Amino acid sequence: VSVKYQDYMFNDITYQTPLRFDSAGLQLTESIIYVDSVDVGVTIEQVEASVIAKDSVLRFTQVQGEIFNGRFSLADLWLDGREQQFNINIQNINLAQVIALQQQPGIQITGNIDGDLPLIMGTQGISIEDGWVSSLTGGKLTIIDNPSFDSIKVQQPDLALLENLDFSQLESSVKLNPDGWVFFDFSIKGNNPDEKRGVNFNYSHQENIFPLLESIRLVKSIENTIEQKITQGDKK
């Protein structure tokens, strides 16, 4: 089955096990649930988890899936509104796909990151404390004709070293507030091959990811509507 909830799309949910309703609610023996993809603005794919329900209280364990061409996993998740803490482990997340979300012209990056994101879920929403991401395998950063970067570079000419950077290490702490504001403190080490100079650059960045993902979902919704109208026009 596929399900659309508000502007979230869950595609091809597969679940095979007996279920039972009684006076206490929904009862499910432990089994595997599989979701082909979930579209929340970014696409989460190949989601798989063990699920069990007792008295309408759902619990997921061994949750794993794919995002940004990498993988994520978490051990335990309850869906009964309780306050809980769990760690999301990410591996081989593609930096190029993450940076593409901001739609900044002229910025290209290669490389993958791993990390741990300790997530707290409660009545106030979701938050992350003391999260971290790191790329120890390195990559390449190029910046060409980006208006925002060029305006800052006028005040700080040394930033030109970032326009062509072979980085050997990229690390950042991660903090997420319940209102959607996420804070990064990046540390980048590498070399500019044009200037033959080493680079050790520290940078703080913050952004509200909720309106960012909402705008992406809105654009996708408009695109899908246009495509459907074109298809219906062809059929007529």
What is d(CA 188, CA 22) in angstroms, rounded to the nearest whole number?
A: 57
What is d(CA 200, CA 120) in angstroms, rounded to the nearest whole number?
A: 32
CA angle 184, 203, 168 (to 5 degrees): 95
Q: What is the pTM of this model?
A: 0.84
Half-sphere exposure of 204 (CA within 13 A, CB side): 2
- The conformation of residue 150, written as its DSSP 8-state character, comes to H
Q: What pLDDT band is residue 52 in, cutting at 50, 70 and 90?
A: very high
Among residues 45, 35, 43, 47, the alpha carbon closest in space to that of 3 is found at 35
What is d(CA 74, CA 65) in angstroms, rounded to the nearest whole number?
A: 10
Q: What is the average pLDDT across 142-148?
A: 92
pLDDT of residue 137: 86
- Three-state DSSP at 191 gives strand
Among residues 47, 45, 42, the alpha carbon closest in space to that of 77 is found at 47
Q: How much of the chain exceeds pLDDT 90, in percent? A: 58
pLDDT of residue 102: 81
For residue 32, give the H/E element and its range: strand 25-39
Phi, psi of 92 (to 5 degrees): 55, 40
pLDDT of residue 29: 87
Q: How far is CA 144 from the centre of its chain?
A: 25
Q: Is the pLDDT of residue 34 over 70?
A: yes
For 193-229, where are the E strands, in sequence order? 197-208
DSSP-assigned beta bridge partners for residue 59: 52, 78
pLDDT of residue 136: 75
